[in-house]
Amino acid sequence: MKILVLTETDACCGPMAAAFLRDYSPRLEVVSAGKNPVKSIDPMVVTVMKECLIDLSCYMPQNIKSVDASGFDTVYECPERSCPSTIEAYRDLRDFVKNEAYLYFRGL
């Protein structure tokens, strides 16, 4: 199954959700993209994801316009929150995204 994770900037919640979905099943092909992507992933996202043994250090946000959306089985519009300012808040956001991605995965 091929899943498109869609967010606004593809710098925070989207890459985390896509990584967790890939982690839940090796049979899933997951791509993250944004409606208005920024130039790079939020460095704090990389830090908190490393705590889950997921390396996003080489991830580059991509524009939904550069992705062939017709090739996906489903689109997951990841609930995106603004990126927080403290490491604890980033961990809370990561855990929220992980839970939401798991609920989505269970519903597939």
pLDDT, tens only, 67-108: 988 889 999 998 777 778 899 999 999 999 999 999 999 999
**pTM exceeds 0.85, yes or no:** yes
Fold of 2-106: Rossmann fold (3.40.50)
Kindly state the tokens that stand for 89. 């808040």
Cα angle 13, 54, 41 (rounded to 5 degrees) comes to 40
Q: Give the closest residue to 12 by CA, choosing from 61, 52, 58.
A: 61
How far apart CA 73 and CA 51 sit, in angstroms, is: 30
> Model confidence over 19-36: pLDDT tens digits?
999 999 999 999 999 999
Instruction: Decide: residue 88, CB within 10 A, 0-12 exposed, 13-18 middle, 19+ buried.
Output: exposed
